[in-house]
Amino acid sequence: MADGAALKRDLSNWNPEDAETWSSRRAWLTLSVTTYSMIIGFCVWFLVPAIAPKLNALGFSLTRSQLYWLAATPGLSAGLLRLVYMFLPPILGTRKLVGLSSVLFLIPIVGWFFAVQDNKTPYWMLLLLAFACGIGSGSFSGYMPSTGYFFPRRLAGTALGVQAGIGNLGMSLVQLFAPWVIGIALPFAAFIPPVVTADGRALALPNVPLVLVPWAIVAVILAFAFLKDVPVKANLRQQIDIFGNKNTWFLTAIYLMTFGAFAGFSAHLPLLIDNTFGKTSEFAGAAGLPDGMAYGFLGPLIASLVRVAWGPLCDRFGGGVWTFVSGVGMTISLGIAAMFLTPDSPGEFDGFM
């Protein structure tokens, strides 16, 4: 029988385990649209790490501690918002969940666009905007199960691995294009003059959030135009039951070790490089110092590629063994990197990286 031949147009009889009432085309279309929105969401999540290292160059007077807190706040809010988002898929459905989330992405994007143009913006406002950036990652815990409704179990690992991996690229993309757009005059931003720093550099920092605006709007349009809902119902009591399952807490600890540590270190990497080896370190004034913003994209990029690869491997061999491999790899690499955090010369940067 043809793909999903018995499937109703309103998806009311959707069953991914039954070939007659499952459409692979619909499933992969849903994955594509939600993954695109997730890319924008993860760009929003890492908007602050892409901006924070350059704030003082624009005339802000933020201490190292304040800058680290700015970079950490989106991670804190993301964790809290994920606890909210996990209840939303059966309540809102895929279409509204992705569409409305894409609309919410515009709040921190537009907020940061205006905030960085005035170095008198109070620190509490910067913290509030950093907290709002957590929406970009908080949506992850709603997008993943919502997309999972559309795939049979035999394809779940591959599909969600692709979504998580490619979506995770947003963390890398925003840090990859940030140094580039900061230094150029965008055609549609000609009315925003760049700030000339004390050393003569022209920094157009508002360009970083500004370039995300049209892509977020596209995510809104795609979600409401192409996504549909499947009939999944769950009441709050049924969902809260997970907190009484010991495996929930085991997996939470493992997730804190893996993604939690990865996200935290990735968010702080540009600042860590600048403060340890770069222009705000004890080596300030030396030639050839690294710029943290030039390296911030590497961690998320590697993670994104590994996520895509890990999905099919977990489908075939099980998630436990590959989680173990990840944990061992992180322990070794972080242990070695920590040995370079009190360098005697800038030349130790290569070993750190």
Q: What is the 3-state secondary structure (H, E, C) of 158-199?
A: HHHHHHHHHHHHHHHHHHHHHHHHHCCCCHHHCCCCCEECCC
Closest alpha carbon to 46 in 145, 112, 143, 120? 112
Dihedral angle computed from the Cα positions of residues 33, 308, 16 and 88, in that order, rounded to the nearest 10 degrees: -60
pLDDT in tens, 257-295: 888 888 888 888 888 999 999 888 899 888 888 988 888
More confident residue, 310 or 124: 124
Give the Cα separation of 70 and 213 in Å (integer). Answer: 22
Which band of pLDDT confidence, cut at 50, 70 and 90, is reported for residue 5?
confident
Amino acid (one-letter) located at 243: F
H helix runs in 46-88, sequence order:
47-51, 64-85
Among 58-62, 165-169, 191-195, the range of highest mean pLDDT: 58-62
**Quick check: 197 and 203 in contact, CB under 8 A?**
yes
C-alpha 353/C-alpha 265 separation (Å) is: 12
- 84, 245, 253 from 249: Cα distances, Å: 17, 7, 6
42 pLDDT band, cuts 50/70/90, is very high
Could you tell me if residue 323 is left (phi over 0), alpha (psi between -120 and 50 degrees) or otherwise beta? alpha
Which range (57-71, 88-102, 138-152, 225-239) has the least confidence?
A: 225-239
In this prediction the pTM is 0.83
Mean pLDDT taken over the chain? 87
pLDDT in tens, 204-215: 888 889 999 999
| Average confidence (pLDDT) over 87-111 | 94
Beta strands in 49-157 (DSSP E): none
Question: Model confidence at 222, in pLDDT bands (50, 70, 90)?
Answer: very high
Of 271, 316, 315, which Cα lies nearest the Cα of 296?
A: 271
Q: What percent of the chain is modeled with pLDDT above 90?
A: 41
Sketch out the chain's domains with CATH numbers: 19-352 (1.20.1250.20)
User: Where residue 1 falls among pLDDT bands split at 50, 70, 90?
Assistant: very low
pLDDT at 153 over 90: no
